Amino acid sequence: MRIHSTYDGLLEGYPTAQMNESLLGSLGKRREFRYRTAPPVHVVRPPRTNPERGRRGAFGPMEVLPPVYCVGFFDSARIDEDHDDVLYRSWLDVVWFQDDIAGPPVEFVTAAVADLPWDGLAEDYEL
Per the structure, the count of domains in the chain is 1
| Calpha distance 85→88 (Å, rounded) | 6
Predicted local distance difference test score (pLDDT) of residue 102: 86
Domain holding 89, by residue range, is 2-126
SS3 101: coil
Measured over the CA atoms of residue 96, residue 111, residue 106 and residue 38, the dihedral's sign is: negative
pLDDT tens by residue, 62-116 = 899 999 999 999 999 999 999 999 999 999 999 999 998 888 888 888 888 889 9
Q: What is the pLDDT of residue 58?
A: 74
CA distances from 12 to 7, 8, 9, 58 (A): 11, 11, 9, 11
HSE toward the beta carbon, residue 42, CA cutoff 13 A? 18
What confidence score (pLDDT) does residue 109 get? 87
Phi and psi for 27 in degrees, rounded to 5?
Answer: -70, -25
Q: Tell me: the pLDDT tens digits for 6-54?
A: 999 888 888 999 999 999 999 998 887 777 788 999 999 999 998 877 6
